[in-house]
Amino acid sequence: MILSATASADSAGTGWSGWVLVVAAALVSGLLIAGPALRRRWPVAWWVCLGFPAAWLRVVRTWRPLMAGCGLALSRKAALTVVSGLVGNGAPPPQPRVPRRGLIRPTAGGFCLLVRLLPGQVPDDFAKVAPAMAHNWEVHAVRVSESRPGVVRIVASASDPLKEPRLPRQRGTGQMLRVVVGVLETGTRWVMDLRQIPHWLIVGATRSGKSTLINALVAGLARQPVALVGIDCEGGMELSLYRPRLSALATNRAQAVKLLGSLVDLTLDRMTLCREARVRNVWGLPEKKRPVPIVVIVDELAELFLVASRSEKEEAQAAGTALIRLAQLGAALGVFLVVAGQRVGSDLGPGVTALRAQLGGRVCHRVADPGTAEMALGDLNPDALHAAQSISPEAAGTAVLASADGWDRARSYLVSEEEAERVAEEYADLTPYLPELVGAGEEPSVVRLDRIDPNDLDD
Ligand SMILES: Nc1ncnc2c1ncn2[C@@H]1O[C@H](COP(=O)(O)OP(=O)(O)OP(=O)(O)O)[C@@H](O)[C@H]1O
């Protein structure tokens, strides 16, 4: 009786495990068949279900031979080898030591892991063999950075996230002055955060993607309670698109000098306000008293600095000095600069290098001359220079970003001029009235937009 009960339980158990095996096999084969379609339609789901487990297996399987092949394994002490040879009676000598790796964690479009360095190794030793790792693990790219002393972080991207960056459904970050403008090579969002890095220099040859990036930035900022001011000395051809959402726009250098002068005065007034309230920046002021943040967008820096005749020299110097003062004072007083240019070099004028030093955020698209890439990235991160110089013309919108913290490759979302224009029109009601710029507005072609009744604001 007992025997027959055990036998029936056994057969039931086999039945269950059989079914589990069949279902698992069906699931795996279904996933394999639907794999390519799944990858196209839901890349993250594909990566989690199929891509990551396969990559995990490859890393685990190849870690030791890869480290040995790349010269990152350390052979055991000679004495130990001799002793093991004597004791082990001809047994194979002990394996060389390889760097210890931590857990392999999945990311949105790849995986990352931490690796402890062996004695005598530096992070550069790993950075040099990153291409070998990428080939071995069959991933698009591998980046190596120092995580903390003695430990490196290896980040692998399975495919190139910059190939076709998809516009996310929600582009806002919910925070003021932070805009998601594109995607980073690591698969994460590229956030331009003006509170963290207040001033930016964006360079790139013609058709490299500067305007598209500015479109993405403006489309994000236009929805926020901030003032946008444009300086476009090429007759306003680029920035006049956002005209309904701009609090002021200068379309030639004479107007730009006037507008920049007014902005410097406004900044000095804010300084007095902060001093009287005994706070160190506008963010320390009570919300009701806090002045509206102003983002000044300068398109084509060279137009401000270039001098064709002697008479223009003074104007160019005045524009340069005002920009530098704004950059120096603005961050704490709620004035932010985004300066774009095709060619930025010290030959434009003595103020350019001083201005560059104040623009902490750098974005370098494909450039026509190495000097501009050097100007944008060279002083912060020489490693980024090579990456910037290898951007191809087909990859418009791709850029190298650098700040004091490091560098990244990224690509902006393709926000067309029509889309930017539509957003500017839609949010025109949010355009703040800036009485301080009234002086600059006296020139007929400096546009001042009194979209908001100042009395409403006072309430
Ligand atoms: N992020 C992107 N993704 C895909 N295509 C892009 C991207 N950025 C730019 N492009 C393509 O490149 C073209 C030129 O871009 P854009 O007008 O931004 O260049 P630009 O550097 O401002 O040029 P210019 O200095 O001549 O005004 C766009 O019309 C678009 O087709």
Can you tell me the distance from the alpha carbon of 75 to that of 150, in angstroms, rounded to the nearest whole number? 19
Within this chain, do residues 74 and 195 fall inside the same structural domain, yes or no? no
Within this chain, do residues 304 and 445 fall inside the same structural domain, yes or no? yes
In a domain, 345, yes or no: yes
Within this chain, do residues 239 and 271 fall inside the same structural domain, yes or no? yes
How many angstroms separate the alpha carbon of residue 324 from the centre of ligand 1?
A: 28
Best probe residue, ligand 1, of 212, 339, 409 (max atoms within 8 Å of C-beta): 212
Nearest residue (CA) to ligand 1, atom 26:
206
In a domain, 8, yes or no: no
**Which atom of ligand 1 is closest in space to residue 213's alpha carbon?**
18
User: Where in the sequence is the domain holding 129, given as residue range(s)?
Assistant: 24-157
Q: CA–CA distance from 375 to each of 357, 364, 370 (Å)? A: 10, 10, 9
Please give the pLDDT value at position 232. 92
Within this chain, do residues 229 and 149 fall inside the same structural domain, yes or no? no
In a domain, 327, yes or no: yes
Is-contact 392 209, C-beta < 8 A?
A: no
Within this chain, do residues 120 and 230 fall inside the same structural domain, yes or no? no
**CA 145 centroid distance within chain:** 16
Please give the pLDDT value at position 384. 82
Can you tell me the distance from the alpha carbon of 445 to that of 413, in angstroms, rounded to the nearest whole number? 32
Tens digit of pLDDT at every position of the chain (459 positions): 444 444 444 444 557 788 888 888 887 777 667 766 766 677 777 777 778 888 999 999 999 999 999 999 988 665 555 555 555 556 666 778 999 999 999 987 789 999 999 999 999 999 999 999 999 999 988 988 888 999 999 989 888 878 777 666 665 557 889 999 998 887 788 999 999 999 999 999 999 999 999 999 999 999 999 999 999 988 888 898 898 999 999 988 888 999 999 999 999 999 999 999 999 999 999 988 899 999 999 998 998 888 877 778 888 889 999 999 999 999 899 999 999 999 888 888 778 888 998 999 999 999 988 888 888 887 667 778 888 888 989 889 999 998 766 788 899 999 988 998 999 999 999 999 887 776 564 343 344 444 444 444 333
In the chain, the largest separation of any two C-alpha atoms, in whole Å, equals: 113
Within this chain, do residues 318 and 189 fall inside the same structural domain, yes or no? yes
How many angstroms separate the alpha carbon of residue 410 from the centre of ligand 1?
A: 14
Within this chain, do residues 63 and 132 fall inside the same structural domain, yes or no? yes
Best probe residue, ligand 1, of 183, 208, 213 (max atoms within 8 Å of C-beta): 208
Please give the pLDDT value at position 83. 58
Within this chain, do residues 322 and 391 fall inside the same structural domain, yes or no? yes
The string of DSSP codes covering 380-424 is: T-HHHHHHHHT--TTSTTEEEEEETTEEEEEEE----HHHHHHHH
The string of DSSP codes covering 45-73 is: HHIIIIIHHHHHHHHHHHHHHHHHHTT--
Closest CA to 182 of 138, 149, 215, 216: 216
In a domain, 13, yes or no: no
How many angstroms separate the alpha carbon of residue 204 from the centre of ligand 1?
A: 10
Which amino acid is residue 141, in one-letter code? A
Is-contact 180 197, C-beta < 8 A?
A: no
Cut 0.80: pTM above it? no
In a domain, 360, yes or no: yes
ipTM of the complex: 0.97
List residues forming the annotated binding site: 204-211
How many angstroms separate the alpha carbon of residue 395 from the centre of ligand 1?
A: 9
In a domain, 4, yes or no: no
Please give the pLDDT value at position 112. 93
In a domain, 221, yes or no: yes
Within this chain, do residues 199 and 149 fall inside the same structural domain, yes or no? no
Nearest residue (CA) to ligand 1, atom 14:
207
How many angstroms separate the alpha carbon of residue 236 from the centre of ligand 1?
A: 18
**Which atom of ligand 1 is closest in space to residue 398's alpha carbon?**
1
Tokens of residue 313, six digits: 């020299």
Please give the pLDDT value at position 223. 92
Strand-strand pairing, 100-101 and 110-116: antiparallel
Q: Which of 109, 124, 157 is the last residue of a domain?
A: 157
How many angstroms separate the alpha carbon of residue 206 from the centre of ligand 1?
A: 8
Please give the pLDDT value at position 185. 82
How many angstroms separate the alpha carbon of residue 39 from the centre of ligand 1?
A: 28
Is-contact 156 142, C-beta < 8 A?
A: yes
In a domain, 10, yes or no: no
Residues having CB within 6 Å of any atom of ligand 1: 204, 206-212, 342, 396-397, 411-412, 414
Nearest residue (CA) to ligand 1, atom 12:
396
Question: What domain count does the chain have?
Answer: 2
Within this chain, do residues 311 and 365 fall inside the same structural domain, yes or no? yes
List residues forming the annotated binding site for ATP: 204-211
Best probe residue, ligand 1, of 207, 232, 343 (max atoms within 8 Å of C-beta): 207
Please give the pLDDT value at position 121. 94
Closest CA to 208 of 394, 337, 409, 417: 394
Within this chain, do residues 73 and 208 fall inside the same structural domain, yes or no? no
Q: Which of 98, 125, 157 is the last residue of a domain?
A: 157
Nearest residue (CA) to ligand 1, atom 10:
396
| CATH number of domain containing 418 | 3.40.50.300
Within this chain, do residues 328 and 403 fall inside the same structural domain, yes or no? yes
Q: Which of 104, 125, 157 is the last residue of a domain?
A: 157
